[in-house]
Amino acid sequence: MSKLTIALVAHDHKKQELLAWVKQHIKTLNQCDLVATGTTGGLIANETGLDIKRYKSGPLGGDQQIGALIAENKLDALFFFWDPLNAAPHDPDVRALLRLCSVWNVPVACNASTADLVITSPLFLSPDYKPYKPNF
């Protein structure tokens, strides 16, 4: 079985929350191929030692790079701790990323509670689970 590819993304005000969540679930995440936007990926790699492929920072195109993985059917889940209380200049990119997750049936968690439920699901690492993928 190939490893799941998981994306980790967080807005500035949510980076520490995502980092704490990653530390809580490091054993499971260590079994996955991890990708992240630039600043978030650097923070997590430095603090945890996890191997993370880093894309550009979100506002510089990293959100679109993660979106391309979704559209190419190369991403299995997105953990995106976004900040709904602070507008970001790249909000349209954020909405597009979340839309792609819905279109391509990719699980997305936007807060720690939902992320906990996703990552602790018996289906998360199950080789028998084959989610529906649209055929466009």
Rounded Cα gap, residues 58 and 66, in angstroms: 9
Catalytic residue among 51, 63, 91, 93: 63
CA dihedral (10, 86, 66, 54) positive or negative: negative
Quote the CA–CA distance of 122 and 129 in Å, as a whole number.
Answer: 9
Which pLDDT score is estimated for 83?
Answer: 86
Distance CA 101, CA 114 (A): 15
pTM metric for this prediction: 0.94
**Structural contact between residues 14 and 84, judged by C-beta atoms closer than 8 angstroms:** no
Catalytic residue status for 63 = yes
What are the pLDDT tens digits along the chain (136 aa)? Answer: 589 999 999 999 999 999 999 999 999 999 999 999 999 999 999 999 999 999 999 888 899 999 999 999 999 999 999 888 877 776 788 889 999 999 999 999 999 999 999 999 999 999 999 899 888 7
Please report the pLDDT score of residue 91 as a whole number.
78
In order of their start, the domains of the chain are 5-119 (3.40.50.1380)
End-to-end CA distance of the chain: 25
